[in-house]
């Protein structure tokens, strides 16, 4: 074998290997998608059927049985609402830490991260009771507030790790020209960091969309996002995997497709820029 | 920039996070020392350590703590070890790399409740599941995963979610590895294993630290997977601390014991975090 052939063989084996892993890991999702187009009988047939006449009945039944649209709107409102709130609070903080770091900046950042380490369950009882006393059980407002606070440390960290890579000279130049700190943020930093802010927003949206501790403990029906709607399918009312698959596909599709387009930024973001 | 302005800009984040931490936590501490029942809220006297004693001596507590740690360590080991090996193997150009990335990251975006339902039903069901079909085709008895190996089933579900994340972080990190160094080592006759051991692994130290930290934050709080699939059972075999406290608070309405348990969860998380933040803090440039 020539060297060139050897290299080609190596590439082929690497590719084969990578595709095998990817397909195995993707299989459950593929299977969920396929099952959503089966009848309930086909869904539980053994051996599993790969070729069948696809039906869309499950999807319409999911809408009828559990009002998908209502829960999807809840998911959209809570994840986008809390992401916007978190950004408004976090951008100034990350900005000041990145451009005017003090002696305590590192401590503050690590402290913020350590609040993420506080397990949600440690404050479950008081949060539940506060929500109950203020009529916030099963309300989107409560979820938005909690999601905002929950993701605030990650959002600050991510923005900080992007901001600190921005060239400081530009800001100094702006300051020479008499820009106020407000101008610096709005006219210089924000335009330069739209990419950073949007990938931070993406990550926050994904985390909120999939959040399933507070959404399961604090909501029942009115404010229940998709995670809670899906959980209602776990009750053993018999086998209805096709409908379950349709509901799951509907619940995940928006965020999975969304994630495909920005997976690279998401990985970079979730590692706080430590991996580039 | 003036110090006062910096402070002002940081104030909202810091104040909100402080409030988010201190107010509920002090309420938890208060509840954990009184006799409290949602049924008759008038009856609440100070009882000291009684709730902690009650919670700790509950046989469920020990198994919940050990399940929490087993779950954390198993998923960390599986995702980091497999992640490093797999990413080193696929870190060469090949056909359809972009598509493979897209397929690989997908499980990471699946919500925990859906994750648990897919695995519980379509994969692990002892009669109609894919696993049962595979083992039957190979001539083995199908396994009832959720009741025979409940904790392992949860570990599989959670690892499935986090392995793709680890692989992608490591692949991204490997792309910045110095190829010249690798080639020089190859010229000098280093074997593939030596390159992996002495060049790749040290290069991955930082990404590994980050992956461990992020995963720990989420793994200590695994909840929905358990609620939806095993319900913590059979017995307490797959109950972790989060699920036990949820059970105590919202299903048995024992607010005081749940609060005591919540504080113990905080202490456990702090012990883990203490070591972690130290290790990772060194690795993050601030």
Contacts of B160 in chain A (CB under 8 A): 25, 28
| H-type alpha helices, chain B | 3-32, 50-57, 59-77, 83-89, 97-105, 112-117, 130-137, 145-148, 150-174, 179-187, 192-195, 201-203, 205-219, 224-229, 241-246, 255-283
**Cβ pair A108, B9 in contact under 8 A:** no
**Percentage of the residues of chain A whose pLDDT score is greater than 90:** 18
Q: What is the pLDDT along chain B (286 residues), one digit of tens a residue?
A: 567 778 888 888 889 988 888 888 888 888 888 776 555 555 566 777 777 877 788 788 888 889 999 999 999 999 999 999 888 878 777 888 888 888 888 999 999 999 999 998 888 888 888 888 888 888 888 888 888 899 999 999 999 999 988 988 888 888 877 777 777 887 887 777 888 888 888 888 888 888 888 888 889 889 989 998 888 878 888 888 889 888 888 887 777 888 888 888 888 888 887 777 676 666 655 4
Structural domains of chain A in order of their starting residue, each with its CATH number: 3-57 (no CATH), 68-270 (1.10.3720.10)
A112 and B17 in contact by Cβ < 8 A? yes
Q: How far is A15 from chain B (nearest CA, A)?
A: 5
Q: What is the pLDDT of residues B4-45, one digit of tens each?
A: 778 888 888 889 988 888 888 888 888 888 776 555 555 566
pLDDT, chain B, mean: 83
Instruction: State the complex-level ipTM.
Output: 0.85
Gap between the Cα atoms of A17 and B89, Å rounded: 8
Interface of A with B in 91-150 (CB under 8 A): 92-93, 95-97, 99-102, 105-106, 108-110, 112-130, 149
Around A133, how many Cα atoms within 13 Å sit in the side-chain half-sphere? Answer: 7
Contacts of A245 in chain B (CB under 8 A): 118, 122
Residues 6+ apart with CB under 8 A from B42: none
B117 and A127 in contact by Cβ < 8 A? no
**Cβ pair B90, A17 in contact under 8 A:** yes
B94 and A230 in contact by Cβ < 8 A? no
Interface of A with B in 57-96 (CB under 8 A): 89-90, 92-93, 95-96
pLDDT computed for residue B265 by the predictor: 86
pLDDT computed for residue B286 by the predictor: 45
Tell whether omega for the bond before A47 is within 30 degrees of 0, i.e. cis.
yes
pLDDT computed for residue B29 by the predictor: 85
* Angle of CA points A245, B228, B76, to nearest 5°: 100
Among A8, A13, A18, pick the best mutation site for testing chain B contact (most B Cβ within 10 A): A18
| Angle of the B150-174 helix axis to the B97-105 helix axis, nearest 10 | 140
A252 and B284 in contact by Cβ < 8 A? no
Secondary structure, 3-state, A155-166: HHHHHHHHHCCC
Phi, psi of B46 (to 5 degrees): -70, 130
Query: Which is nearest to B167 in space by CA: A160, A18, A127?
Result: A18
In this prediction the pTM is: 0.87
Residue indicated by tokens 């997976």: A263
Q: Token pair of B93, please?
A: 């150009």
pLDDT computed for residue B151 by the predictor: 92
Question: Band of the pLDDT at A58, cuts 50, 70, 90?
Answer: confident
Structural domains of chain B in order of their starting residue, each with its CATH number: 21-57+254-286 (no CATH), 67-238 (1.10.3720.10)
């Amino acid at each position: 074998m020539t060297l060139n052939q050897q290299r080609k063989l190596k590439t082929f084996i690497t590719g084969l290997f990578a595709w095998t892993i990817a397909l195995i890991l993707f299989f459950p999702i593929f299977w969920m998608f396929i099952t959503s187009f089966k009848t309930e009988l086909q869904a539980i047939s053994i051996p599993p059927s790969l070729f069948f006449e696809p039906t869309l009945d499950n999807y319409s039944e999911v809408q009828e049985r559990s009002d998908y649209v209502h829960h999807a709107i809840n998911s959209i409102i809570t994840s986008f609402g809390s992401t916007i709130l978190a950004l408004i609070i976090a951008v100034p903080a990350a900005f000041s830490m990145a451009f005017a770091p003090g002696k305590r900046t590192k401590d503050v950042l690590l402290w913020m991260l350590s609040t993420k380490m506080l397990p949600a369950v440690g404050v479950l009882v008081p949060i539940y009771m506060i929500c109950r006393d203020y009529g916030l059980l099963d309300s989107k407002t409560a979820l938005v507030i909690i999601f905002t606070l929950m993701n605030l440390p990650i959002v600050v960290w991510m923005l900080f790790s992007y901001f600190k890579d921005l060239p400081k000279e530009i800001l100094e130049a702006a300051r020479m020209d008499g820009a106020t700190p407000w101008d610096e943020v709005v006219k210089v930093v924000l335009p330069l960091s739209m990419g950073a802010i949007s990938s931070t927003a993406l990550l926050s949206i994904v985390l909120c969309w999939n959040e399933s501790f507070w959404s399961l403990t604090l909501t029942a029906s009115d404010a229940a996002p998709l995670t809670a709607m899906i959980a209602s399918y776990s009750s053993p009312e018999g086998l209805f995997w096709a409908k379950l698959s349709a509901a799951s596909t509907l619940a995940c599709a928006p965020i999975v497709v969304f994630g495909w387009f920005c997976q690279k930024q998401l990985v970079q973001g979730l590692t706080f820029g430590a991996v580039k | 920039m003036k110090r006062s302005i910096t402070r002002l800009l940081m104030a909202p984040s810091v104040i909100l996070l402080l409030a988010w931490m201190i107010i509920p936590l002090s309420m938890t501490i208060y509840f954990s020392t009184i006799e409290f029942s949602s049924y008759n809220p008038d009856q609440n006297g100070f009882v000291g350590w009684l709730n902690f004693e009650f919670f700790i001596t509950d046989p469920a507590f020990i198994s919940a703590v050990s399940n929490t740690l087993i779950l954390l360590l198993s998923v960390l080991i599986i995702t980091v070890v497999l992640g490093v090996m797999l990413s080193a193997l696929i870190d060469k150009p090949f056909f359809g790399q972009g598509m493979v990335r897209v397929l690989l990251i997908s499980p990471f975006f699946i919500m925990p409740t859906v994750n648990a339902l897919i695995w519980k039903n379509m994969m692990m069901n002892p009669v109609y599941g894919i696993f049962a079909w595979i083992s039957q085709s190979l001539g083995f008895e199908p396994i009832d995963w959720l009741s025979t190996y409940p904790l392992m089933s949860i570990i599989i579900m959670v690892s499935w979610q986090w392995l793709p994340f680890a692989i992608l972080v490591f692949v991204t990190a490997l792309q910045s590895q110095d190829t010249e160094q690798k080639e020089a080592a190859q010229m000098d006759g280093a074997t593939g294993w030596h390159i992996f051991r002495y060049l790749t692994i040290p290069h991955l130290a930082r990404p590994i630290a980050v992956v461990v930290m992020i995963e720990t934050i989420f793994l200590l709080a695994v909840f929905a997977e358990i609620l939806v699939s095993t319900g913590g059972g059979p017995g307490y075999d797959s109950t972790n601390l989060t699920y036990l406290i949820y059970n105590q608070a919202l299903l048995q309405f024992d607010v005081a014991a749940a609060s005591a348990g919540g504080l113990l969860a905080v202490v456990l998380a702090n012990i883990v975090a203490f070591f972690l933040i130290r290790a990772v803090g060194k690795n993050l440039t601030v």
